[in-house]
Amino acid sequence: MERKYEKYARRDFFTGHTKEDFVRWQSDMKTLLTKLLGFDKMEQTSLHPVTEEITMQPGGIRREHVRILVEPDVWMPMYLLIPADAGPATRPFLCPPGHGGAGKYTVSGVTGYELVNQSIEKYQYDYGMQLAKLGYVAVCPDCRGFGERRELISDTEDPALAMKGDCYWLAHMGEPLGIPVAGMLTWDLMRAVDYLEERSEWDVSRVSCLGFSGGGMQTLWLAALDPRIRLTVISGYMYGFRDSLLAMNRNCSCNYVPHLWEHLDMGDIASLIAPRPMLIQSCSGDRLNGARGLFNVFEQMDIIKNAYALFGRQEALIHEICPGPHSWHGERLQENLDELIKNEE
């Protein structure tokens, strides 16, 4: 399969030389990727938002438990973390969850559950709460198959099962219909942006997205395909498909989009985000980097850097390399955001 990858993969990478060439290629690739994700089979509906509960968290942060309708009969629960002084000038962040964190619970910093506490400590997983403490509105959704959206509600009665997701089941249902899991998750996040626009309490001209691991995957797809995402932070999810998803083929089903590898690599998808400000965070000891480690990451970063250079926007792209294994690092979050915000157009 590795030999076949070398023969058939990445046939549609950018081969032009100018910004104008790149803009045309961007448009063509967005059309292609939208088709590969099965968006033509997703169904529009009104959001019908329902507020389930409002609680106050330490530091005056209001936590709203809200659910919205993303497709007919398909609800997405979310926690919104809203700082006390949030207003029309406040930037909202979408904070999609990755694996091993029970969906929105770790991202929003829900404590009191042993396994959730352990996940937060291991991965610094509460990045939604970290953003709220910095003064941003954080929208922390349950993606399909996680948290309240487990396929079997009985699984939530078992703490270990409740921490996991149902991507495998979702892939087996969706892919034969041309709807990969990545398409479902990206669609739902776009509906969350619709909700922010409809609610219109915060600065919807500066909607941003931050995600770690599987949340980084969702952030990558969302920002690549939705220009409403004005600032992007991807952590623990930037490496070449060959090393990290083909050779390491036991990764989760949500990573795999039929026919994708024939067309593009991960850096090509990320380059569609150019020239909007973006932080990509990699850990030097992350096993997901593959056997070649950071060299696999650097190859993808070179693709992205070339795209930003065409726009003369090199300063809008930051690559932060952190020590240790697979983890989110929020130690320099405010400094990095300040730098990215300074370079918004």
Distance CA 40, CA 51 (A): 30
- The pLDDT value recorded for residue 157 is 83
Distance CA 327, CA 293 (A): 15
pLDDT tens per residue across span 250-293: 999 999 999 999 999 999 999 999 999 999 999 999 999 999 99
pLDDT tens per residue across span 30-77: 999 999 999 999 999 999 999 999 999 999 999 999 999 999 999 999
Percentage of residues in the chain with pLDDT exceeding 70? 100
- The pLDDT value recorded for residue 241 is 98
CA 118 to centroid of chain Cα atoms: 22
Please state the φ and ψ torsions of residue 224, each to the nearest 5 degrees.
-65, -35
- The pLDDT value recorded for residue 126 is 98
pLDDT tens per residue across span 137-196: 999 999 999 999 998 888 878 888 888 899 999 999 999 999 999 999 999 999 999 999
Q: Which residues, other chains included, contact 239 with Cβ-Cβ below 8 Å and sequence gap of 6+?
A: 266, 288, 289, 290, 296, 297, 300
Please state the φ and ψ torsions of residue 296, each to the nearest 5 degrees.
-65, -35
pLDDT tens per residue across span 227-252: 999 999 999 999 999 999 999 999 99
- The pLDDT value recorded for residue 245 is 98
Among 114-118, 127-131, 138-142, 218-222, whose mean pLDDT is lowest? 114-118
- The pLDDT value recorded for residue 181 is 98
- The pLDDT value recorded for residue 160 is 82
- The pLDDT value recorded for residue 314 is 97
